[in-house]
Amino acid sequence: MWAPTGVTVSSTLEAILADDYLGDVAALSIEDVRARRAECKDIETGLSYLRRLVQGRLDVVAAEQGRRSDGGEGDDLEGLISRLPDLLAGSTRTEGTGRLPSSIGTGTVDDALQDELDGIITDSRLGQPGELTDDELREAAASLAAFEQKVSGHRRSLFDRIDALEAELTRRYKSGEASVDSLLS
């Protein structure tokens, strides 16, 4: 049920996160700069979606821990589903970069990271939180929190790349190396 440590990300995300991904960004063609920016944004959207999945699982685990500490009765699946709107509403505002999503959707969700999340605790196990032991809940909470930090770190790195690519595009437009007309042709 628990994820092995050291699960790697896909080769695409690994390549984007590599120190040499941008290389000499000024030497890239404008098409390459735009393509890399689009690729980074798509992967970031996928990581954002994955992060929301992690936060939802964390909310369910925390609610079950709270229910147990308060001595409440366990939920069946129907009871859990009826409480989900309240459980998930608690994490609608979190600290972060303050960036609004540039697109709506799931983007490209990294399969290795999705597998790692599922390895921590699957939706089916989470659907019956009363069947988890206290130790399993604690371990799931700790693993999910660590995984959320990992995903957030990847997102921050992608934002750095997106910012650098957008700065290069801005530089080219300001210097006249690129023109808005080139977007239309």
Query: What digits encode the pLDDT tens for the residues 24-60?
Result: 999 999 999 999 999 999 999 999 999 999 998 998 8
Q: Within 10 Å of residue 183's Cβ, how many Cβ atoms?
A: 10
What is the structure's pLDDT at 101? 52
Sign of CA dihedral 93, 99, 104, 105: negative
What is the structure's pLDDT at 59? 87
Whole-Å CA distances, 20 to 15, 23, 25: 8, 5, 10
pLDDT along the chain (185 residues), means of 10: 43 91 94 94 93 90 83 63 66 52 70 91 82 91 96 95 96 86 63
Measured distance CA(169)–CA(159) in Å, rounded: 15
Backbone angles phi, psi at 110, to 5 degrees: -65, 120
pTM score of the predicted model: 0.79
Which value, to the nearest 10 degrees, does the dihedral of the CA atoms of residues 41, 28, 8, 53 take? 0
Task: Give the burial class of 68: count Cβ atoms within 10 A of its Cβ; 0-12 exposed, 13-18 middle, 19 or more buried.
Answer: middle
What is the structure's pLDDT at 1? 29
Task: Using the structure block, give the residue that is written with the tokens 């009765």.
Answer: 73
Contact of 61 with 141, CB cutoff 8 Å:
yes
CA angle, residues 50, 87, 57, in degrees to nearest 5: 30
